Amino acid sequence: MSFKILRRAWEPVIRPLMHFYWRFARGMTLGARAVVIDGQGRVFLIKHSYVDGWHLPGGGVETGESVLSALARELREEGNIEITATPKLHDVFFNASASKRDHVALYIVREFRQDGPPQPDHEIIAHGFFPPGELPEDTSRATRVRLAEIFAGKPLSEEW
């Protein structure tokens, strides 16, 4: 069995354990994600090794780290993307599917540099830029909802 399959199989066990730990280590968890839009109006999506579907890039804000620093770090790690101008905050969402303390700050990034494609690794197994109307079939529900808010003017939801 490959490491990737094993990791995905254990994810339902590991995630609740991590959130149990975070309950005591942190009062609230905060994530930073981005809708990265290229010059052709396409959005950058990633596919993780440990969870199904395509998602917006991003991750957790670490202790002592600002939201924008976390966003910049995650975009470098997951997409080889360097932010070249201050991103615009779209909104902050409550992510009850992760835990009852999790929030996600979503930014829109239009000005960036990507000197080369990211190299798939143990965490990110696929990536790409996609037109908002031609997303991969297994794009996550939350990603689809956020993109509909941004590109189709759908009403904002407080829930991730």
Q: Which of 1-15, 52-66, 101-115 has the lowest mean pLDDT?
A: 1-15
Domain assignment of residue 159, yes or no: no
Domain assignment of residue 156, yes or no: no
Cα angle: 57, vertex 157, 149; to 5 degrees: 60
Domain assignment of residue 89, yes or no: yes
Q: Which amino acid is at 71?
A: L
107-132 residue pLDDT tens: 999 999 999 988 878 889 999 999 99
Domain assignment of residue 57, yes or no: yes
Residues above pLDDT 70, as percent of the chain: 90
Mean pLDDT confidence for 77-103: 92
- Give the number of residues written for the chain: 160
Count the domains in the chain: 1
Domain assignment of residue 158, yes or no: no
Residue 6 has pLDDT above 70, yes or no: no
Domain assignment of residue 91, yes or no: yes
Domain assignment of residue 74, yes or no: yes
The CATH number for 96's domain is 3.90.79.10
Domain assignment of residue 157, yes or no: no
Confidence tier at 99 by pLDDT (50, 70, 90): confident
Q: Report the distance separating Cα 76 and Cα 119, nearest Å.
A: 11
Range of the structural domain that residue 119 is part of:
3-151
Please give the structure tokens belonging to residue 29. Answer: 């968890």
Please give the structure tokens belonging to residue 56. Answer: 């917006």
